[in-house]
Structure 1
Amino acid sequence: MRSSSSRRRTSHTLHRRTAGAALVGVAALLTAAIQSGAATAAPQQAPSAAAAHASVQLSPSQRAELLRDASSGTARTAAAIGLGDQERLVVRDVVKDADGTLHTRYERTYAGLPVLGGDLIVDTAKSGETQRVIKATNAALKVSDLTPDVTKSAAEQQAVARAKALGGTKSAADSSRKVIWAASGKPVLAYETVVGGLQDDGTPNELHVITDAATGQKLYEYQGVRNGTGNTMYSGTVPLTTTLSGSTYTLNDGARGGHKTYNLNRGTSGTGTLFSQTSDTWGNGTASNSATAGADAHYGAAVTWDFYKNTFGRSGIRNDGVAAYSRVHYGNAYVNAFWDDSCFCMTYGDGTSNTHPLTSLDVAGHEMSHGVTSNTAGLNYSGESGGLNEATSDIFGTGVEFYANNSTDVGDYLIGEKIDINGDGTPLRYMDKPSKDGASKDSWYSGIGSVDVHYSSGPANHFFYLLSEGSGAKVINGVSYNSPTADGLPVTGIGRDKALQIWYRALTTKFTSTTNYAGARTGTLAAAGELYGTSSAEYKAVQDAWAGVAVGSRSGGGGGGGTVFENTADVSIPDNGAAVTSSITVSGRSGNAPSNLQVGVDIIHTWRGDLVIDLVAPDGTAYRLKNFSSSDSADNVQTTYTVNASSEVANGTWKLRVQDQATYDTGYINGWKLTFP
């Protein structure tokens, strides 16, 4: 999901599918799925330091003051982190740790234009010293020509045509604006066009199309309205917080930011009518009573609010103490539910024949968590970041269900298990083994970014289950699970509560709009290191759980057939400049390195032919991995080289040396590793 500001508008829905139905309904920010500037794991520290890194619950006035302070210092911050003369920072959010560290999230403008994919996080110590900068892209913001060669109307026509191809009904765009597109490769001037209206199935349409202002090429698109989970599932008799005015009760929760629940009565716009009646008993457990859906929605919103507040100290979806609102009975026989940032509201349809309102606790927790993602990392709804976005809602939706401790709907690691959207009694997703739904992926692989995000979420869901519960067969709350691992090695879980804390901290202080799976590993390791220490069992479990879904190596360096040493710190590569290095210290090996030393390289860089790459042994001997090539215009170097290093002593400091030998294109070392078979 994205924010409801004037910059963009998005929403999430829940849609019926036939085979392998997925919990759909997530948000998209507008940038392509590349990982730039992933967080670096925290320095070695004792577990007792965890309290210092715990987030402080801020009052609305305290948060507002921190935001004002950050806003007043944006020019100084921009200069301090080396932004260009035409770049400006816009404060979006702030998180404060107990030790005074501030994690301030910014978006950027360039020459007054919004930069899509330019978001970043600045970590500042209590002393005011900048500790770390995490960027959605490390590409230099240099756009020489800010005059479009393509007309605005041409961009709008392209977007309208694309919307019609996807089932849209409008003949004109709602809005179009000039932006800087920085989400993939070299930043360019572009148009962002939004086409609203309805899709052919009645779902609200909000297609965002990014068009290159120089060539007219479509660079990116995303649907602001996304599909989620759904069908009826009730939570039994539950307490509701209401408001009494005179002799009339309303579904107005004054204890949770004033959350209100409205009856659209088959309408598709506006707020409808606030539920009100003279009795404080709402609904009768059947769809024939319109207040039943209202009670379920009101309960789901309350539990989700309480989960975030009591688990993470978060006050509402935006962390500002202000509630969203809910709308039920949307449309006629509408088999969907969706979160919408533009209205900051949650909406539920009544399902097939208007007899199955989609007001389940699963839907509430999953969908409203998209709002949290929108107001924190803003993970793009495309490629690997889209899978992480969807998984984040699965993870926190699962957390909401366990938190509720509802005897009618006990906590489990099954997504949409009581909705039965396929009519066969099966869940939509299985976190212990995602592939059981017939479409989701159990583990990461190089092509997963091209998979539908509702299925590419599988590795992150699987990681969360492994981190929480561990691998192998077990029974939890009466449900049987049997979770495998990609490397065939066991994983020992640390408990769901700790796993949730690690994911939330990574989402709110480490992830950016373009975070991919490698970046998620880096971010969660950094979060675990800060919360529990880098020598802790929790930190090692994060490594092992990611290795269990084929992302990175095991905590002991094992897995994958050898001992692995890795450095995931980012190192910027200057354009046509001096060589840079990234170091790995190898220890605990005897004798010389092998004749088949594996060197795994992950470099993000446009026009990779500019790069010359060497492996430098501890004694200074250089082994050429890649030569310069003026004709190799492809992006990125993500491959494994085999080096005969048998004449080198294994232990010592090895370096990856990279030099850019031509102008115009830039990038960074995202990480690299040595594998000793």
Structure 2
Amino acid sequence: MKRKLAAGAVLSATALLTGVIQVSTAAEATPTPSVQAQAAQHRAGLIALASGQAGPLTKALGLGGQETLVAKDAVVDADGTRHLRFERTYAGLPVLGGDLIVHQAANGAVGAVDKAVTEQIALPSLTPKIPADKAAAQASGAVQSTVGITEDKDESPLAEVHQTGAAQLVVWATDGNPRLAYRTTVEGVRADGTPSRQLLVTDAATGEVLSTHEQVQTATGTGDGVFVGSVPLTTAQSGSTFSLKDASRGGQSTSDLKGKTSGSGTLFTDTDNAWGDGTAANRQSAAVDAQFGAAVTWDFYKNTFGRSGIKNNGVGATSRVHYGRNYVNAFWDDSCFCMTYGDGDGNTHPLTELDVAGHEMTHGVTSATAGLNYSGESGGLNEATSDIFGTMVEWYANLASDKPDYLIGEEIDINGDGTPLRYMDKPSKDGGSADSWSSGVGNLDVHYSSGVGNHFFYLLAEGSGAKTINGVSYNSPTSNGSTVTGIGRDKAAAIWYRALTVYFTSTTNYKAARTATLNAAKDLYGSGSTEYNAVAAAWSGVNVN
């Protein structure tokens, strides 16, 4: 972080509060044949809908003859209004920054279009001046020479580097100056054991590094053992053996890496279906945290937004625990669709706190939807999105052992004095985050520029001023001295989620986020509604006007 389905399928609210581990029967372990298949089929149908519109929309939008729209995602409202998300190609090459969203009436009429960049693409040549092998070598060399290029200044240096695959020719348009470029993946391992997978874009004429994106999103901290306490788990049964695999949530599972830093690990199994003992000394205890964190994150997105898994395709993620040795970190990796946790200092402090799980897996949701660039203001919005929904996962679970709040990473005690990693009511209390927008906020580390989005969300949900919520004292200021009245966290989260999935693009900045969330509020509650006006007031309260 420095970064109610059918009975038997999902835990009931009553069961969640009893602290009893759910014992699965063989029947419960068998997936309902249609649930995952229906989710995948529904998503495939939406993508097919968008794909069917790609050709006509290419012409309607006046794109050049060498440009093609490629469907990525689609959202269809109850009244039939469509929000079709596309990537773009130029002469068959992927266009980075070419993503756009077409808002289309049920009858096919185009209402509006949100583009990541508005500039026309017209390249004088498709012949690169630098060959692919040299571009790949330059990318690897750039990573080595800077000891790991990354927007995340809190990452430790790379201890080893190697290129993965060939350099791919692309069109770079993100900065509004379309040109030919190469995209290269450079992998490595950081000095602290964190895997690194950096996506570098280099100019095909000069070799200049245009962009870097660390694809492994990390959460840094230390913990004091198991966080979730006694909780229910849905497991699978085969004969007399149970395993930490949840068929009711897309087959998501938890495995033991046993100190390794690669591979899928070994699926946790047990004979009595009673897992862990609440201590770090028992290897199953961290697995309970991880499996429960993944389950609650799934349930939050499913029951709140109707989202079936991180990619909305009914497929569950894998959680891996006991990564490396003395590894004080946790991370989400899109390439393996997995969440990974270290055991912390001395291998006795697993990093399996609930809001860490919700935060990191939300990076996967962002990747599958808006694809917010992990740099500048877009990167701040990316991190804020994870903080926002990581916090909402915590409120959704409502555990007595980890009481929900607007503090980020409060259980891991990263500062060693009991203070949290970040504060949503007044972000600057961490010593580095921005309370409000300024012209230089995009130059901050993304975990600090996220403060603007976090503060906006707190103001929208709870309002400004001093108050005590769930036993925690807050005092949230506004940059303009105004008084903001909150609309509640559920409405605030609904607005942010709709903005993320329907209006945000890869290059969305804070000004565009204001417009996107106002559009989302208008869609959900009406223009001029209390909620709409609260969104405007909250953004003004963080100097986004």
| TM-score normalized with structure 2 length | 0.90
Shift of residue 229 of structure 1? 4.1
Structure-2 separation of matches of 1:201 and 1:442: 31
In the alignment, the residues of structure 2 paired with residue 216 and residue 313 of structure 1 have an alpha-carbon distance, to the nearest angstrom, of 44
Tell me the percent identity.
62
Q: Tell me the residue number matched to 1:440.
A: 433
> What is the alpha-carbon distance in structure 2 between the residues aligned to residue 263 and residue 531 of structure 1?
43
CA contact under 8 A between 1:174 and 1:196: conserved in structure 2? no
Residues 447-475 of structure 1: CA deviation (Å, up to 9, x unaligned): 11101000000011000000000000000
Residues 1:362 and 2:355 aligned together: yes
d(CA) in 2 for partners of 1:171 and 1:286? 38
Query: Using the alignment, how far apart are the partners of 1:427 and 1:466 within structure 2?
Result: 19
Query: Which of the residues 151, 154, 157 maps onto 2:137?
Result: 157
Instruction: Give, in whole Å, the separation in 2 of the partners of 1:507 and 1:228.
Output: 22
1:388 counterpart letter in structure 2: L
Q: Which residue of 1 aligns with 2:15?
A: none
Structure 1: runs of 5+ lacking an equivalent = 1-22, 26-57, 553-677
Q: Which amino acid is the alignment partner of residue 195 of structure 1?
A: V
What is the aligned partner in structure 1 of residue 166 from structure 2? 175
Distance 1:266 1:162 in 2: 31
2:213 to 205, 222, 228: 222
User: Equivalent residue of 1:457, what SS?
Assistant: helix
1:407 aligns with 2:400: yes
Determine which structure has more spread, i.e. the larger CA radius of gyration. 1
Contact 1:175 1:195 in 2 (8 A): no
1:90 aligns with: 70
Distance 2:466 2:191 in 1: 44
Partner Cα distance (2:163, 2:400) in 1: 50
Q: Compute the displacement of 1:72 (Å).
A: 3.1
3-state DSSP of counterpart to 2:362 = helix
Higher relative contact order (CA 8 A, sep 6+): 1
Which residue of structure 2 lines up, in the alignment, with residue 567 of structure 1?
none
Residue 112 of structure 2 corresponds to 132
Q: Which residue in the other structure is 1:200 paired with? A: 191
State the one-letter code of the partner of 2:481.
G
Aligned partners of 2:534, 2:412: CA distance in 1, in Å? 33
Residue 24 of structure 1 is matched in structure 2 by 2
TM-superposed CA distance for 1:171, in Å, is 5.0
Q: Does the 8 Å contact 2:255/2:264 carry over to 1?
A: yes
- Name which of structure 1's ranges 70-79 and 399-408 shifts more when overlaid on structure 2: 70-79
One-letter code of the match for 1:82?
G
Alignment of 1:430-509 (within 5 A): 430-509=423-502
Matched letter for residue 81 of structure 1: L
> Deviation at 1:157?
2.3
The superposition leaves residues 88-113 of structure 1 with CA deviations (integer Å, 9 ceiling, x where unpaired) of: 11111111100001111110111011
CA–CA separation in structure 1 for the residues paired with 2:176 and 2:382: 22
Q: What's the CA shift string for 1:551-606, capped at 9, x where partnerless?
A: 01xxxxxxxxxxxxxxxxxxxxxxxxxxxxxxxxxxxxxxxxxxxxxxxxxxxxxx
- Counterpart of 2:94 (choices 114, 128, 131) is 114
Counterparts of 1:170 and 1:452, CA distance in 2: 23
Superposition deviation, residue 152 in structure 1 = 2.0
Q: In structure 1, give the amino acid aligned to 2:196.
A: N
> Are the equivalent residues in 1 in contact too, given 2:344–2:351 (CA < 8 A)?
yes
Q: CA deviation at 1:169?
A: 1.3
CA distance in 1, matches of 2:516, 2:233: 38
Q: 1:368 to 1:171 in 2, by over 3 A?
A: closer
Alignment check: 8 A CA contact 2:118 2:176 kept: no
Q: Which residue of 2 aligns with 1:420?
A: 413
* Structure 2, unaligned runs of 5 or more: 4-37, 149-157
Matched, 1:257 2:250: yes
Q: Distance in 2 between matches of 1:380 and 1:171?
A: 23
Higher helix share: 2
Q: Is the 8 A contact 1:336 1:351 kept in 2?
A: yes
For the residue of structure 2 that corresponds to 1:206, the secondary structure is: strand
Q: What CA RMSD, in Å, does the superposition of the two structures yield over aligned residues?
A: 1.2
Please, which of 188, 196, 211 is the counterpart of residue 202 of structure 2? 211
Deviation of 1:173 (Å): 5.0
Three-state SS of the structure 1 residue aligned to 2:505 is: coil
- Structure 1, residues 31-84: CA drift from partner, whole Å, max 9, x if none? xxxxxxxxxxxxxxxxxxxxxxxxxxx843233122123223321121111111
Q: CA deviation at 1:226?
A: 3.0
Q: Which amino acid aligns with 1:489?
A: S
Q: Does 1:381 align with 2:374?
A: yes
**Paired residue type of 1:217:** E
Q: What is the letter of the counterpart of residue 324 of structure 1?
A: A
Whole-Å separation in 2 of the counterparts to 1:132 and 1:169:
47
- Match of 1:119, SS state, is strand
| Alignment map for 1:290-329 (pairs within 5 Å) | 290-329=283-322
Cα displacement string for residues 399-424 of structure 1 (whole angstroms, at most 9, x for unaligned residues): 00000011111110000011101211
Which whole-Å deviations, capped at 9, do the CAs of 1:137-178 have from their partners, x for residues lacking one? 101011111101122233222211222222251354543110
